[in-house]
Amino acid sequence: MALNGDKIRRNKQYPKLEILSPELKKDTVDCTKRGNWSSVWRIIALSNMLNIRIDTVYPSVNGTKHYAFKYMNTTSRPPFTDSDKGTITLTWTNTIESDRENVTNRGRPKKEWTPNHFVPRVNIQREIGRGSSTNITHSNDANKVQTK
């Protein structure tokens, strides 16, 4: 991140993500400290470092019209992405217990939900019996999981 800040700033999503994210220089230092949460800048830096496309999924906890939902469901793709490497898909999530307690029984937040880290999403294929299988895949729509 320290050496490639210009690449991150040139990302077409940068102006929209800058509103939702910590200041890039501060986050560059913070990512070296234990106990700090993830940021979109780290995902963009990872994509650049690995030279791979990374799709991020932001759940619609605050509603589908929420600014973060609109712009954090995004793709980071370096200029010369190696398509043979495939795509990594990450989902934003939150592990703070107090944030889970702020969701009403109808699933709507009492206060705005914010993520603090991301987890990888994987495709799983398993056999259900002879000659049949189920293939579970993700969708970039954070509300859908497709089963074939």
* Tokens representing residue 117 in the block: 């880290």
Is the pTM higher than 0.85?
no
**Residue 91 falls within a domain, yes or no?**
yes
* Tokens representing residue 129 in the block: 């019996």
pLDDT of residue 144: 45
State how far the Cα of 144 lies from the Cα of 59, in Å rounded to an integer.
10
Which of 115, 8, 146, 13 has the alpha carbon at shortest distance from 70? Answer: 13
**Residue 103 falls within a domain, yes or no?**
yes
What is the identity of the amino acid at 72? M
At 34 the three-state DSSP class reads: coil
pLDDT of residue 131: 55
**Residue 13 falls within a domain, yes or no?**
yes
Residues with Cβ within 8 Å of residue 142, at least 6 apart in sequence: 57, 58, 59, 60, 69, 73, 91
> How many domains does one find in the chain?
1
pLDDT of residue 97: 61
pLDDT averages per 10-residue partition of the chain, 148 residues: 82 83 88 86 89 93 90 89 90 73 57 86 67 50 44
State how far the Cα of 127 lies from the Cα of 125, in Å rounded to an integer.
7
Which of 113, 104, 105 has the alpha carbon at shortest distance from 142? Answer: 113
pLDDT of residue 90: 95
Asked whether 135 and 148 are in contact (CB, 8 A), the reply is yes
pLDDT of residue 11: 79
**Residue 117 falls within a domain, yes or no?**
yes
**Residue 146 falls within a domain, yes or no?**
no
**Residue 136 falls within a domain, yes or no?**
no
State how far the Cα of 37 lies from the Cα of 21, in Å rounded to an integer.
11
**Residue 140 falls within a domain, yes or no?**
no
Residue 103 has what DSSP assignment? B
**Residue 69 falls within a domain, yes or no?**
yes
**What domain range includes position 31?**
5-123
16 phi, psi to nearest 5 deg: -75, -35
